[in-house]
């Protein structure tokens, strides 16, 4: 740190957003020169305040009258999609509750590593400790080696408020969930091998096979692939997270949310074990027997009592589930399909699963008939 003043001129910009101010701060700015009628987004303004960076309006570069520009109605981005939030409270970083959560995050990180759900510095964990305050894991630290002092505090826009290590680059994914789902208190993202195997094939595991999975996870969604760490990637989960506490991220891994850090990690365990079990069973050469629809209803009733989300609670949206199955008949996932360009094993796979194919064809036919009937 030094006390030298450095002005950076961004007065050619009509809108100053988070990226602009982060770049300027990274370049060592202590003052930003902006145009008189420039719009500054709320998150950019908060960031500047937190970093004690002055905003200087045009023509005043020497800063004799330099003053932080007042947050007038015209200078706050009216078109910004993010609501204006109170600035994050850095004191939430060291409360007794925060210290306990940091320990829980480290314990869960160790579980993820011990169970081989994360590799290298992969995976990340977060907890919403205040309305605009999130505790999260840092980037480039193995989840086995995490210590409470490594944990970061960020706001809902991803700005780091406290902590000595930089926050995980995949935090944006967690933040989209916190913004979309008020009851989400914690998110766990990891790459468990068997669940990720589903994610790289675009398949979701079938339902009504194991009761614990029905209750704790249920219908799993799969979000489309985008480059990790980008805002585009983070937004891929938005359509799913209200109805699903567990989402497969195509060609990547999984994300789970829960009411505690420990519970969010449980859902990752339940999904991974379920996917693994299905894969083992699919090698036995006989069809998997299913729980009946009525027994499934009983499990859903238990789930509802527990306050866990499930798209099947909303009967008007059941059609969505059926149509999703229709679009993706392989979601039954009892039949291995060959990878692109590798047809060497397809004959084998067919031999093993003819009975499954029969029932698959029957269920798809039923769904098609139903869809036609609806029209």
Binding site for Zn ion (CB under 5 A): 253
Minimum CB separation of residue 153 from Zn ion in Å reads 21
Q: Smaller CB distance to Zn ion: residue 110 or 319?
A: 110
Q: Is 244 left (phi over 0), alpha (psi -120 to 50) or beta?
A: beta
Strands 152-154 and 221-223 turn out to be unpaired
8 Å CB contact between 142 and 162: no
End-to-end CA distance of the chain: 68
Closest contact distance (angstroms) between CB of 195 and Zn ion is: 12
- Considering the complex, what minimum distance in angstroms separates the CB of residue 68 from Zn ion? 38
Q: Which residues of 30-48 are buried (b: 16+ CB within 10 A; e: fewer)?
A: bbbbbbeebbbbbbbbbbb
314 backbone dihedrals φ, ψ, rounded to 5°: -95, 100
Instruction: Tell me the C-alpha to C-alpha distance, in Å, between residue 191 and each of 22, 124, 196, 256.
Output: 30, 10, 6, 11
- Given the residues 157, 170, 176, 214, select the one marked as catalytic: 170
Residue whose Cβ sits closest to Zn ion: 253
**Helix, strand or coil, per DSSP, at residue 178:** helix
Q: Least distance from C-beta 120 to Zn ion, angstroms?
A: 10
170 as an active site residue: the answer is yes
Length of the chain as a residue count: 375
**Residue 207 and residue 314: Cα distance in Å, rounded?**
17
Toward Zn ion, which CB reaches closer, 118 or 308?
118
**Whole-number minimum distance, CB 201 to Zn ion, in Å?**
17
Nearest to 52 by CA among 89, 91, 3: 3
Instruction: Quote the crossing angle between the two packed helices 261-282 and 96-114, to the nearest 10°.
Output: 10
Q: Which is nearer to Zn ion, 45 or 189 (CB)?
A: 189
Q: Which residues are catalytic, by number?
A: 170
């Amino acid at each position: 740190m030094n006390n030298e003043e450095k002005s950076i001129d961004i007065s050619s910009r009509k809108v100053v957003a988070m990226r602009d101010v982060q770049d300027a701060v990274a370049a060592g700015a202590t003052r930003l020169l902006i145009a008189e009628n420039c719009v500054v987004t709320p998150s950019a303004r908060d960031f500047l305040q937190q970093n004690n960076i002055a905003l200087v309006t045009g023509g005043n570069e020497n800063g004799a009258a330099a003053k932080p520009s007042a947050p007038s109605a015209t200078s706050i981005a009216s078109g910004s999609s993010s609501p204006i939030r109170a600035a994050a409270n850095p004191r939430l970083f060291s409360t007794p509750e925060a210290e306990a959560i940091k320990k829980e995050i480290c314990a869960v990180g160790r579980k993820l590593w011990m169970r081989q759900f994360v590799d290298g510095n992969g995976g990340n964990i977060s907890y919403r400790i205040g309305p605009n305050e999130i505790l999260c894991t840092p980037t480039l630290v193995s989840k086995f080696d995490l210590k409470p002092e490594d944990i970061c505090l960020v706001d809902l826009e991803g700005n780091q408020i406290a902590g000595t290590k930089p926050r995980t680059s995949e935090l944006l994914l967690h933040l989209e969930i916190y913004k979309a789902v008020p009851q989400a208190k914690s998110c766990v993202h990891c790459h468990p091998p068997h669940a990720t195997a589903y994610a790289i094939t675009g398949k979701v595991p079938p339902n009504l096979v194991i009761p614990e999975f029905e209750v704790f996870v249920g219908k799993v969604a799969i979000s489309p692939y985008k480059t990790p760490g980008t805002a585009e990637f983070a937004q891929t989960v938005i359509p799913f997270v209200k109805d699903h506490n567990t989402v497969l991220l195509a060609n990547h891994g999984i994300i789970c949310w829960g009411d505690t850090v420990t519970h969010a990690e449980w859902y990752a365990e339940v999904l991974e074990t379920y996917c693994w079990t299905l894969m083992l069973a699919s090698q036995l050469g006989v069809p998997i027997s299913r729980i009946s629809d009525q027994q499934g209803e009983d499990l859903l009733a238990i789930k509802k009592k527990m306050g866990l989300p499930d798209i099947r609670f909303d009967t008007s949206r059941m059609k969505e589930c059926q149509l999703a199955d229709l679009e993706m008949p392989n979601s039954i996932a009892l039949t291995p399909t060959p990878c692109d360009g590798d047809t060497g094993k397809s004959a084998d796979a067919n031999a093993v699963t003819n009975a499954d194919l029969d029932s698959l064809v029957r269920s798809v036919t039923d769904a098609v008939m139903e869809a036609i009937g609806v029209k």
